[in-house]
Amino acid sequence: MAGPTVSAVIATYNRAPELRTTLTRLLGQSYPVHEILVVDDGSTDGTDAMVRAEFPSVRYARLPHNAGLIYARNFGFVNTGGDFILSVDDDSWFEDVDGLARTVAYLEAHADVAAVACNIETRDGLVYFPKGAAPFDVPWYVGCGHLLRRSAVAEVGLYMPELYRQGEEKDRCLRLLGAGYRTVALPDVMVFHDKSEKGRKPGLERFYNHRNDLIREIARCPAGLLPWRFARSWIGNSWKSLRQGPRATDLKVLLALPEIVRIGLKHRKPVSVEAYRCWLHLAETAAPGRVVEGSQWAPTLTLPHLRRGRG
């Protein structure tokens, strides 16, 4: 009996050499990928010609303009049909040939799990989870290496396209938790993230991290907790920026406040207080990069009333 079908979605922008490596590694996985869709967010470096010439089995779609990573990932979701959706960046890939097979097997065996977070290892030596640890619940996956259950994502909806870049994983996993699903880390499934310098702008990343955290709070936080959480998010992100030296991020966020409120209210659909508090607990104790080597804490959420009917 054939297993679940997997669609791989790769958003790319002006990283043709890196994308070549990613596609080559993905096509070499032991578990067959049903389809690979490359969503080109307006590249001008010959990405289209490279994909068509060297990877004829790969579907290629070029967006008419640079619409942002999150829009590209939404586009990929609605234009593929696999039971599971694999997301890797154009500069990331499984380290082992059976990495995809192991993530598929875990998701297939656990009906209440909507997302599997792979263990990310970067070229500068950062490892997100302790290698060899048992699977455990996490507050979110990392965009450059995760597998999603299509039916669960369809239940909670697409990413907020207005986020443009960054923070979409947190919002989706919070919504999945609110719907009774889990996000689980597989520390023994390694994805290498080459972290290409092309297109990386630290100042822009800080701004969108700060902005999008505030949007998420307005959209998902229960009303009784919202004032405290909004202030906490603002202060926390401001402190992060300040630790890296004087920045204009806070001013930019302040100027964007009307837009932040508008987007948050447009998408407002808060989760329950219990689900939100569980997510906060995971964010404090099990977020990618926070679980240190040797930690014995490997939680499994117990939310029977939230998970009713998941099997």
Helices within 97-201 (DSSP H only) = 99-109, 150-156, 168-178
191 in Cβ contact with 145 (< 8 Å): yes
Select the more confidently predicted residue: 307 or 224.
224
Q: Residue written as tokens 């234009």?
A: 79
- Judge whether residue 75 has pLDDT over 50: yes
Mean pLDDT confidence for 49-55: 97
Tell me the pLDDT tens digit for each residue of 264-279. Answer: 999 999 999 999 999 9
Q: Report the share of the chain in percent with pLDDT over 70.
A: 88
Q: In this predicted model, what pLDDT tens digit does every residue of 126-160 receive, in sequence order?
A: 999 999 899 999 999 999 999 999 999 999 999 99
Task: Give the DSSP letter of residue 297.
Answer: -
Check residue 65 and give its pLDDT.
81
Question: Residue 220: pLDDT band by 50, 70, 90 thresholds?
Answer: very high
The DSSP bridge pattern shows strands 92-94 and 182-193 to be: antiparallel
Question: If we measure between CA atoms, which residue out of 60, 68, 63, 3 comes closest to residue 35?
Answer: 60
Is this model's pTM higher than 0.85 or not?
yes
Question: Exposure pattern of 41-56 as b/e (b: 16+ CB <10 Å)?
Answer: bbbeeebbebbeeebe
The yes or no reply on domain 6-193 and CATH 3.30.830.10 is no
Say what the pLDDT of residue 237 is.
Answer: 85
So where are the chain's domains? 6-193, 202-266
* Among 72-81, 109-118, 167-176, 297-306, the least confident range: 297-306
Instruction: Return the HEC string of 232-291.
Output: HHHHHHHHHHHHCCCCCHHHHHHHCHHHHHHHHHHCCCCCCHHHHHHHHHHHHHCCCCCC
pLDDT at residue 57 in the model? 96
Question: What is the pLDDT of the chain when averaged over all its residues?
Answer: 90
Q: How confident is the model at residue 289, as a pLDDT?
A: 80
Question: What would the pLDDT profile of 279-294 be if each residue is shown by its tens digit?
Answer: 999 999 999 987 655 5
